[in-house]
Amino acid sequence: MFKRFSQWFFGIDDAQKERNPIKEIHLEKGRIEIIVMPDLGYGKEYKITKWHVQPGQLIKTGDVVCDLENRTILMEFESIYGGRVLPIVQLDQKLKVGDAIFKIEGV
């Protein structure tokens, strides 16, 4: 099964996203937020199989940052903030719920 995080978490499909775009959430300049592995309810261990962004790249709310996978799912993980991406984990590194995935810095 392949879903985007917003489809799973918010129940939003692409058509709804176009009609009602997600509001951009900006961080204060220099503020850093750590994005952690959410509890998706599909098992305990996950891994990042693909980064869709480069370190230092500027992104906006709703941009796909990485692909998360476990034995049950493959999901695109979208950012809830706009800012500069600071990756933390390597590809195929095992992740548990609550582990840091990446940081995002307000610009």
**pLDDT tens digits, residue range 43-69?**
778 999 999 999 999 999 889 999 999
Range of the domain at 31: 2-105
pLDDT at 23 over 90: no
Residue 29 sits at φ, ψ, to 5 deg, of -55, 130
The arithmetic mean of pLDDT across residues 12-29, rounded, is 64
**Radius of gyration from C-alpha coordinates of the chain:** 13
Total domains in the chain come to 1
**The domain spanning residue 16 has which CATH number?**
2.40.50.100
